[in-house]
Structure 1
């Protein structure tokens, strides 16, 4: 069936699922099925993966799709195609080249004028000395100066014109690079269609089809916007996504879903083989695969009887004589030699490692394809045997300065046939990609099924341009979804349709609102830095994970800052830092007292006392967490005794990770309130393990 005979249906993009890299598009098409059941759906992008095409019928029981394939057509573009940007870039490129040429010519003229200098006439030996005409020298210098002044003024104008044209060219080139790839980029436009075969359709009723296909060239990263009111224990977290795509088609008014899964990951179920104890049994052949029948080569005996078909060989002009390997195929056939019983000439010697009847080539190697023609032709003799490839009567001595050719290698014995049932590869079991090889194929490929892997340079270029979006620089604090999702995959569905052009730049899409628990806490480590930091403690009470990404924090409708939100699992609790809090002050003082204890004063006691003061200058109450480090020892003889009301923090699944020896005070201060915290610890070191003359304070 020709493509023109199929009913042509238009299609519209309905939804897109963007994965970590790549996207899965869903198109809808509607129309009446022709009597032959062949339908051609147009509008598919050039970068689609042909192996990912899926089609099904919606809302029509009994109608199903039995065949689906991708076909690519080419046709010249109309004169009114939207390529104004491309024409503008070409015009500016020509203008820039012309301006560059004018500037170069002006520079050459300046160099010529600057090279002017007086040259005295040659003086003979007997001639007296002449006086130099100073006035002529000065007039020449004045002329050169005036001329260079005018030329440099003109050069400045040309430089300015070249700079302006270069700026316009750079802007136009950038606009063309950022333009949507949905517009064809060549004078010949390509159309991609899906040719479907439907069965079960009756009457002229309209049938709706759904097409699903995968495309490369789409990436996304999560982003958030967090709204918070002072004094509230909840917040409004809006999930947004930065999406960039260069798939070759604009996503206009589509439903967008975001997934952290890998689209290229294989999802086939593993094949589990049974393990049996007892007598060994032969491995069963794969289901649906059959071994090629015996005697397959005999099917082409009649096809090979007339001889090989002449092929058109294009000889370049001026290339000289035709190569011998090519001329051999066009040599006139030699008269058939009489059989050996009639006293005819002996058969030609066999080439080393070749089939009987294939003569050695006179230029040091066998002719490609000659042995295959000899085996396929009745009698086993090539068509050009006898005159074009006659064996020489005697070996000619090697030319002076050339080494003698090495002796021919002995023939390689054929390998033993494999024992057991055949083991087809995975490519041979992909029945949709198998192609029947015709009689013109050489060797054992004739009449057999082999995987078809044609190379389409245009499609490869489209895929290469589409996959370039994976190298886009990420926005600030952004993290790839595969890195933050971990071992689990999540999907987020946008609440409204969106427009995402195919320009390869980041576009923000609002996904939805997620309720989160929120409270403000203040944190300080006065032993490291006497500064109090404000933090937001987020708790995820939903059944959906929040991936790592940038979050814009607003407090009372005022933008505060953009922070990095860590990955928040369902039920998890994490902190988000908001920066220093100038309204809360902290002061820390320490004292160290050294003494001895024990029966013979053989224990050194280091008494550390810590005094922390907090002051709240904000208009509302605050909760401050003060962290204080306590030494940790692994020596059982060294003891550390704590004297304070601080507590040991708990490291939960979603809480902060604390260093060993961390102690915590949690204090609630009213507006304008102050408090003091006292604590300390003693370090008891035996005299035999003290460092004499060392720094005991550290």
Structure 2
């Protein structure tokens, strides 16, 4: 016991001797969902090769933690990076004052609410005061009612209710003010940063690093080895301490970089477009709205935005063979593999130490049936399973068997081995292995008093997903989907029963379902589009030109990323058949190698803010049109005429002659280009002919805005100029194709 106590003290002394150094957040790459953070620390090379870095957030993903040495003596490298929580005690003055004010406001609101409730109860009791005459006895003459007493009681009740009502109104107003103060402080706390401490006792994340340090040898010089693997130098007979390889005062400095991922980060693009009339270029500034709730404030970090997804799919699709013939189900893959040799001797040293003290349990676990169990399993890691459910442990339970051997009418169960099963299934009539010592065996499935064979067969079918074998021809068991899910299997350690040590089995603990990101319900800004929805099949990265500051408050913060040069051509579009108005547009052309994602854009023309519009996705080399609203200074008017006649020797065809007349007027002080959109009918019947009589043209590339039936006019108007456009088309309909009841007119 003394040796063990000294060993524990020595371990605690070693842990306490590990130097702790702060780390500084250097850069962040924000992805579509989540971010990758990099922290840096410059520390002196520790003599023991171990150090601890602090300042990490609690929300980091430990699986993504990586560390490396950026600069230092040759041969210095990180061999292990382990995430360890450390409990920290906070004094009251270190806690944020906003939390204390909110706590006081809630206590004050609760006290006022209680006083208000008590006052209302007193009002109800006072209102219920009534004069009750005594019961009249038999043969007792009638008595006179004391009117003075009734009046005094009524005056007392009225005066008391008046005072109580005034008090209740005062408390109601005070309660409303207290509720408003509580709501205000609650909103401030919700919007405040989560980087600072909020509780007196909380845990903080630290990283324990193990380094390879260069150790000087007399012959070969510096040799990189693990510092903790060095043999301790013999002490000097005079009592002097051994000289370290690297003196503390001349220990070189090393730069260490930590990289980890955090989930609670989102970003959406936003833009600001500045355009000067008469110029063919514009200034498109990319700005990002970033929200993060990672538990640390990003102050002065190098920010980059990426459209890639951190949890992208990486498995390749499987191209299966095409077979001609009768369809047959594919055979399930085999889950059995021979266990490694010497697996039983792996835990010899662990058993030689002695048994560990059993953990304290709340109470005995009830047995599912009074009959002796056919299979038993440890009760500590698993809970009793419902009938028909697979074994939670995933392995063959060990336990006493009524006959000591497996009979031919009872199907054997496979034991879990190195990669699914521990060996081939036992043959009928072979003895069972000795039962493993378990602290509290629990019956998995009790045999029924009648139909024991049927119960065993149904248990076999429930466990391995197949039909129960007949007693005459036992078949080899087929593993279920749970046993074949190798990424989710865990390796049984030395604390497990002897029959399960070193084998793979499904996890027995029930893990809570993963919850959504704290920012999953955050509403997007107006016209904002998530980057994965607008990026399509390409991924791009945008690096910020200057350091950014983003607090961990879970709200949107706008950060300027950089400038994207675009070509801007102003055009005016009108669709007079639908609305006699002219709309101003800006045709944007992206001549760079960067994509412009969809998002809100603030349009400024001639240094005057115009509006906030929705910018569509603009791929490299693409061209899109951005609408900026109605232009009142450019007028349009449209008139139509329809002439109906018949042609042919026997009037066998009906001719519908449509004529369109459009007038345009430019009231602006500069020339404009107007695109007039019209439409013509389209008929799938070859006997119905449509003849166009205009100088318009069809769109080069049909789109949802301009379908194939669209016809376009493009005309340049000088300042104060006017223009008239005439067009039309004829529809020739045979008599047999005429619409009953008359032709449809525009």
User: Secondary structure of the equivalent of 1:482?
Assistant: helix
Partner of 1:437: 493
Give the counterpart of 1:215 among 262, 265, 270: 262
- State yes or no: 1:184 paired with 2:197: yes
Distance (whole Å) between structure 1 residues aligned to residue 540 and residue 353 of structure 2: 65
- State yes or no: 1:689 paired with 2:737: yes
Distance 1:611 1:373, change over 3 A: closer
Partner of 1:142: 155
Aligned 8 A contact 2:437 2:497 in 1 = no
Distance 1:383 1:559, change over 3 A: closer
Partner of 2:306: 259
Partner of 1:606: 656
Q: Deviations over 1:171-193 (max 9, x none)?
A: 11111122211123332221212
Distance (whole Å) between structure 2 residues aligned to residue 27 and residue 84 of structure 1: 29
Give the counterpart of 1:20 among 32, 35, 57: 32
Q: Deviations over 1:238-280 (max 9, x none)?
A: 1000000011111111000001111122557899999xxxxxx
- State yes or no: 1:237 paired with 2:284: yes
Aligned 8 A contact 1:590 1:608 in 2 = yes
1:274-673 alignment, distance < 5 Å: 292-297=339-344, 311=358, 313=360, 351=372, 353-354=374-375, 406-407=449-450, 409-410=452-453, 416=476, 426-427=486-487, 437-438=493-494, 440-447=495-502, 467-651=517-701, 657-673=705-721
Q: CA deviation at 1:635?
A: 0.6
Distance (whole Å) between structure 2 residues aligned to residue 273 and residue 598 of structure 1: 64
Distance (whole Å) between structure 2 residues aligned to residue 379 and residue 526 of structure 1: 90
User: Secondary structure of the equivalent of 1:195?
Assistant: strand
Q: CA deviation at 1:235?
A: 0.8
Q: Deviations over 1:200-222 (max 9, x none)?
A: 44542111111111111000000
Aligned 8 A contact 1:550 1:565 in 2 = yes
Q: For the aligned residues, what is the CA RMSD?
A: 4.0
Distance (whole Å) between structure 2 residues aligned to residue 160 and residue 170 of structure 1: 15
- State yes or no: 1:76 paired with 2:131: no
Distance (whole Å) between structure 1 residues aligned to residue 346 and residue 117 of structure 2: 72
> Which of 144-153 and 160-169 deviates more?
144-153
Q: CA deviation at 1:301?
A: 7.5
Q: Deviations over 1:578-633 (max 9, x none)?
A: 11111111111111111111222211111111111111112222111110111111
Distance (whole Å) between structure 2 residues aligned to residue 536 and residue 291 of structure 1: 71
Corresponding residue pairs, total = 615
Distance (whole Å) between structure 2 residues aligned to residue 110 and residue 218 of structure 1: 54
Distance (whole Å) between structure 2 residues aligned to residue 294 and residue 351 of structure 1: 35
Distance 1:227 1:469, change over 3 A: same
Distance (whole Å) between structure 2 residues aligned to residue 162 and residue 123 of structure 1: 48
Distance 1:52 1:435, change over 3 A: farther
Partner of 2:208: 195
Q: CA deviation at 1:441?
A: 1.0
Give the counterpart of 1:249 among 287, 296, 302: 296
Partner of 2:61: 49
Distance (whole Å) between structure 2 residues aligned to residue 622 and residue 513 of structure 1: 28
Q: Deviations over 1:4-25 (max 9, x none)?
A: 3433222111000000110000
Q: CA deviation at 1:543?
A: 0.7
Q: CA deviation at 1:448?
A: 5.4
Distance 1:106 1:295, change over 3 A: same
Partner of 2:428: none
TM-score normalised by structure 2 residue count: 0.74
Partner of 1:339: none
User: Secondary structure of the equivalent of 1:80?
Assistant: helix
Q: CA deviation at 1:354?
A: 4.7
Distance 1:689 1:443, change over 3 A: farther
Distance 1:550 1:444, change over 3 A: farther
Partner of 1:9: 21
Distance 1:273 1:249, change over 3 A: farther
Distance (whole Å) between structure 2 residues aligned to residue 597 and residue 384 of structure 1: 103
Give the counterpart of 1:205 among 225, 236, 252: 252
Partner of 2:175: 162
Aligned 8 A contact 1:228 1:236 in 2 = yes
Distance (whole Å) between structure 2 residues aligned to residue 658 and residue 166 of structure 1: 56
Aligned 8 A contact 2:303 2:544 in 1 = yes
Aligned 8 A contact 1:255 1:498 in 2 = yes
Distance (whole Å) between structure 2 residues aligned to residue 50 and residue 469 of structure 1: 20
TM-score normalised by structure 1 residue count: 0.79
User: Secondary structure of the equivalent of 2:663?
Assistant: strand
> Which of 498-507 and 57-66 deviates more?
57-66
Structure 2: runs of 5+ lacking an equivalent:
1-10, 216-245, 322-333, 377-385, 387-391, 402-431, 442-446, 461-473
Distance 1:540 1:323, change over 3 A: closer
Aligned 8 A contact 2:436 2:499 in 1 = no
Distance (whole Å) between structure 1 residues aligned to residue 433 and residue 722 of structure 2: 111
User: Secondary structure of the equivalent of 1:193?
Assistant: strand
